[in-house]
Structure 1
C-alpha cells in the first residue's frame, strides 16, 4: 500500500514540478483511487512544500479553475508557456542566424521546458518551417564562440583572433589576418552576429566590426584592457546609429519620406524624428553612420528624397546615375 501511495504522490509531484496541470479525474482514473484519497495526497504534497527544507520552497499548489486542475503557481509564473515558446521559435526561425542543427537543438530544449499540455501543436506549427529551414551560407556553429566572446567582454580581456577578410571578388580571402582586439559588444543584424571591438594599438574614433562566423583561432588572452566608464560601449545606443552593420562617418541626415508607412521607417531608424508632416509627406531627421544609411536610402526608391546633408545628397545622385547607366 505504501509503495502504491508513493507511486501516486510521485506522479502528481512530477507533473506539478514539470509545470503541467494535475486534473482530479485523470489521476483517479489512472490509479483507481477515490476523490477523498486524491485530495489527501494533494494536501500531503502541500505540507511537504511548506517545510523549510522542501525542494521547492516558496512554491504553492493552487486550484486553477480556468485550467481545470491543480498547478504549481510559481512554476507557471516563471516558466515559458506555449504562446511565448511559439513566439521565440518564430523569431529564431526568421532570423536565420544559426545552422539548422544548432537551431533544432535550441527549439527542442525550449519545448522541453515549456508549460503546455499540447506541445505537439507547437511542433506542428513550426515543423514545416524547420524542415524547409535554410542554414546561413557560412555553415558554422556559433554558440560556443558567442559564449567565449561574451565572457571576454564581461572580464575585459583582450582577444587574439584570425579574421578572413572579404576580397574584391566578393569571396573570402584565403589569407587570415591576425590581430589583438578589445571586445566591446556583440550585435545581431541581417542573419549574422558581429563582434564590435577596438584594434589594439590603433586610435580609431569608432570601433571596428567583425562578423563572428569569419573569426578563426579565437583566443582569450590573460591581458586585460581598461575602458573609462564614461566612454563605455553601449550596445543599444550604437545600434541606433548603424544600418546594415556599415560604419563610415557619423552624419546628420534629413530626408523627405512619401512612402506607405512612416512607422516602419521609425522602427528601422530608432533615433529618427519626424520634424514636419503634411498630407502623407514627412520630413525626417536622424544621426547615423554614412555608409549604412546611404544603403538604406537607396533601397527606398522614389519614396525618399535626401534633403541634407549636401554631401550625402550628391553621393545619392551619383549612385542613382550609375544605376541608371546599367540599364541603358
Structure 2
C-alpha cells in the first residue's frame, strides 16, 4: 500500500520537492525497518526522476486550512489569481468551500461563490492569501456541488452544457470509455469502429474530441458537429500558405 500510494503521488507531480519528500517519508514511517528499506529501494528511480509542476507551491498547510474551513462551515474572503490574461493581478473573492478533490495535476476546491453566482471550482495553488474566515451557512445538501456528477460528466473543464453526444470512434474503444465515465458502445461496425454515446459537459469534451483527429467523428448533436468542424477548420487554416 505504501509503495502504491507513493508511486501515485510521484506521478501526480502536484507537490514541490520538499513536501513530496516529507509525505513519502510519512507513508513509510509506520513500516518495519526492513520494509522501509525495501520501499525506498523500489522508489529510487521514481524519486530521482520526479518532475514537479513548474512553479509548484507548498500545498499541505493550505489543504489543512481549507479542510478545517469546510468542517466549520466558514465563508472565506481570499485573493485569487486566475488563468486568463485579465487576471494576472490577484482578485478578491468571497466564497464558502464545500469540497476538495484532486484531478489531473491539481487540487481543486468547490465553493459557493458570490463572484460567480453559484458553485465554482477554484484551483488551490492559485489561492494567494486568505484574508478572512467568516461564519458561513448550512447549505442545502440537495443543491450542493456534486463531485459524483463532476466525475461522470467532466473532462478537464467543468463548463458547457450537459449534453448527450454520439460519436464514431475508430481507435481503441476503451480509451474513450475511460475518459467519459458512464459512456457506452451502442453500435459495433464491421470495420472495427464503433458508435459511442456519452453525457458530457461540452467545453471539456471538446478538448478530448479534437485530440483524436481523424480517429473520431462526432455524429450528434448537430450543434457540436458544427463546433468541432469549425475548430478543426480554424486549426487547418493556420497552416495554409
Whether the TM-score (by the shorter chain) exceeds 0.5 is: yes
Unaligned runs of 5+ in 2: none
Q: Which residue of 2 aligns with 1:113?
A: 30
Do the aligned partners of 2:110 and 2:145 also contact (CA within 8 Å) in 1?
Answer: no
Q: Which has the larger radius of gyration?
A: 1
Instruction: Kindly report which structure 2 residues correspond to 1:119-138, keeping only aligned pairs within 5 A, or say none.
Output: 119-138=36-55
The answer on 1:180 being equivalent to 2:94 is: yes
Do the aligned partners of 1:95 and 1:190 also contact (CA within 8 Å) in 2?
Answer: yes
Q: Which residue of 2 aligns with 1:149?
A: 66
Do the aligned partners of 1:256 and 1:281 also contact (CA within 8 Å) in 2?
Answer: yes
CA RMSD of aligned residues (A): 2.0
88, 91, 96: which one pairs with 2:5? 88
Do the aligned partners of 2:76 and 2:134 also contact (CA within 8 Å) in 1?
Answer: no
Task: Tell me the distance in 2 between the aligned counterparts of 1:142 and 1:157.
Answer: 20
Number of equivalences: 239
The answer on 1:299 being equivalent to 2:211 is: yes
Task: Tell me the distance in 1 between the aligned counterparts of 2:90 and 2:171.
Answer: 44
Give deviations 1:201-255, integer Å, cap 9, x for gaps: 7534xx2221111101125623212321222323122221111134122222111
* 1:153 CA drift (Å): 2.0
251, 256, 266: which one pairs with 2:177? 266
Q: Give the TM-score normalised by structure 1.
A: 0.68
The answer on 1:193 being equivalent to 2:107 is: yes
Do the aligned partners of 2:14 and 2:56 also contact (CA within 8 Å) in 1?
Answer: no
Do the aligned partners of 2:93 and 2:115 also contact (CA within 8 Å) in 1?
Answer: no
Task: Tell me the distance in 1 between the aligned counterparts of 2:115 and 2:211.
Answer: 37
Q: Give the TM-score normalised by structure 2.
A: 0.91
Unaligned runs of 5+ in 1: 1-83
